[in-house]
Amino acid sequence: MASIRSDPIHRIHPEPIDHFDRLPDSLLLLVFNKIGDVKALGRCCVVSRRFHSLVPQVENVVVRVDCVISDDDCSPSSSSSDKSRAAGPFSSLFRLVFGGIVKPLQALGQFLGPKRSNLNEPLNTPSSSSLSVGSGGDDDGEMDQGGVTHHSPTQVLRNFNEIRFLRIELPSGELGIDDGVLLKWRADFGSTLDNCVILGAASVINNAHLQVSEFGNNGFCINNNGAGVTNVGNNDDNGSIPESFYTNGGLKLRVVWTISSLIAASARHYLLQPIIAEHKTLDNLVLTDADGQGVLCMNRDQLEELRVKPLSASSASKRTLVPALNMRLWYAPHLELPNGVVLKGATLVAIRPSEQSASKKEVSDSSWLSSAFEEPYGTAAKMLVKRRTYCLEMNSF
């Protein structure tokens, strides 16, 4: 035995056990689908050849955008693009830095501000924008900028063959709003806008923290002890919009919210074209933002509609043309939600193309408007649609 231990040739080294080899591919794919995040999947694919072959079969993919890059910042050349296509399939997934949409709202120059805190001054933005994805330091990328190589999401997602559920999350909403202002929208698209719902409020207040000194003269009922608020809002307004709404700029502000939300939604839709054309297995696509400001959704039928019927692009900018619209508006000066949150100047706008059939327009508002937002804002939508309805029309733009 001593001679065996002293002879390195005869030393016993048991083979290491790779427990992943014992797992079936279907179970590994279940794990990868739970991971979803494209950065994490990019790291997984370099672990082993087996992982590298399984990652492209993932059905649930999430792309989180980290930074904003405009088309004016970098223009890829055809030679570098060819080089990128020839590179390894997941080289652009490793050490990623994502690029997003630059605010495509120059059409509202007289209304929108250059800062995210202001919606009332001209907006100074690049003439065009795109989604872009980058990886640091690799020599196989598409365009090099400041030591970071950028790739479009189309290139990164091209390596996935079976995507069914795709979620893209931008770092922030495109619309600049003042602190305390609520503005949320959700839009459904096929080849053009199917519907859009917008919820806004001039301010959001927690009822438990209301101060009498601030709100005692603003229509609130103060209790006898002067310690707080016992009732919020006017119950005898019959759902009508007060005359001051038209004279103090309230209506103009809601028009700005509506148009700018539609432009943001149509710009997002336009940028999704190449991804939708490439991935015919898609069942559901969501493009949202970390702020929770806007959500663009497309189901399987809507995705197929866009492939069959190309969208109409706006001549003014890189976005989908918004068709002529019918809109319904509900307004409440003060809206108190069950959880104590108070929306001042609460406004709900339901939008559908004018050409949609009358039967489709008759679908119950509460059934699709309230489901557009997470709580407590879904409840706010249910409460608003019970008030008086105001109808508006808007031309295509």
Per DSSP, helices labelled H in the chain are 2-6, 25-35, 38-44, 49-54, 78-86, 153-157, 212-215, 244-247, 250-271, 273-278, 300-308, 358-361, 365-369, 377-384
Domains of the chain: which residue ranges?
172-208+239-394
Structure token pair of residue 30? 């279940």
DSSP 38: H
The amino acid at 16: P
Structure token pair of residue 288? 């949202």
- Confidence (pLDDT) at 208: 54
For residue range 118-164, list pLDDT tens digits in order: 444 333 333 344 555 555 434 344 444 444 455 667 777 888 999 99
Instruction: Please tell me the distance from the alpha carbon of residue 155 to that of residue 87, in angstroms, as a whole number.
Output: 11
* Cis before 274 (ω within 30): no
% of the chain surpassing 70 pLDDT: 63
Say yes or no to pLDDT of 117 above 80. no
Asked if 68 and 99 count as a contact pair (C-beta separation under 8 A), the reply is: yes
Structure token pair of residue 67? 């930074």
Distances (CA, A) of 346 to 241, 309, 333: 11, 37, 6
Say yes or no to pLDDT of 375 above 50. yes
- For residue 112, name the pLDDT band (cuts at 50, 70, 90): very low
Cβ burial of 174 (10 Å; 0-12, 13-18, 19+) is: buried
For residue range 204-234, list pLDDT tens digits in order: 988 655 443 344 444 333 333 333 333 334 4
Structure token pair of residue 316? 């003014």
Asked if 132 and 271 count as a contact pair (C-beta separation under 8 A), the reply is: no
- Confidence (pLDDT) at 22: 85
- Confidence (pLDDT) at 17: 76
Nearest to 177 by CA among 83, 96, 103: 103
Exposure b/e, 327-359, CB count within 10 A at least 16 = b: bbbbbbbbbbbeeebbbbbbbbbbbbbeeeeee
Structure token pair of residue 264? 């943001």
Asked if 245 and 331 count as a contact pair (C-beta separation under 8 A), the reply is: yes
pTM: 0.72
> Which of the pair, 258 or 3, is modelled with greater confidence?
258
Can you spell out the DSSP letters for 273-314? HHHHHH-TT-SEEEEEETT--EEEEEEHHHHHHHHHSPPPBP
Structure token pair of residue 397? 């733009």
- Confidence (pLDDT) at 223: 37
For residue range 29-80, list pLDDT tens digits in order: 999 999 999 989 989 988 989 999 999 999 999 998 776 554 444 444 444 4
Distances (CA, A) of 352 to 392, 393, 395: 11, 10, 12
Torsion angle, CA of 24/26/30/31, rounded to 10 degrees? 30
Structure token pair of residue 320? 């989908």
Instruction: Please tell me the distance from the alpha carbon of residue 180 to that of residue 342, in angstroms, as a whole number.
Output: 12
The whole-angstrom distance between residue 397's C-alpha and the CA centroid of its chain comes to 22
Instruction: Please tell me the distance from the alpha carbon of residue 371 to that of residue 102, in angstroms, as a whole number.
Output: 29
Determine how β-strand 67-68 pairs with β-strand 193-201: unpaired
The radius of gyration of the chain from alpha carbons, rounded to an integer in Å, stands at: 26
Angle 317-306-165 (CA atoms, 0-180°, nearest 5)? 105
Determine how β-strand 229-231 pairs with β-strand 132-136: unpaired
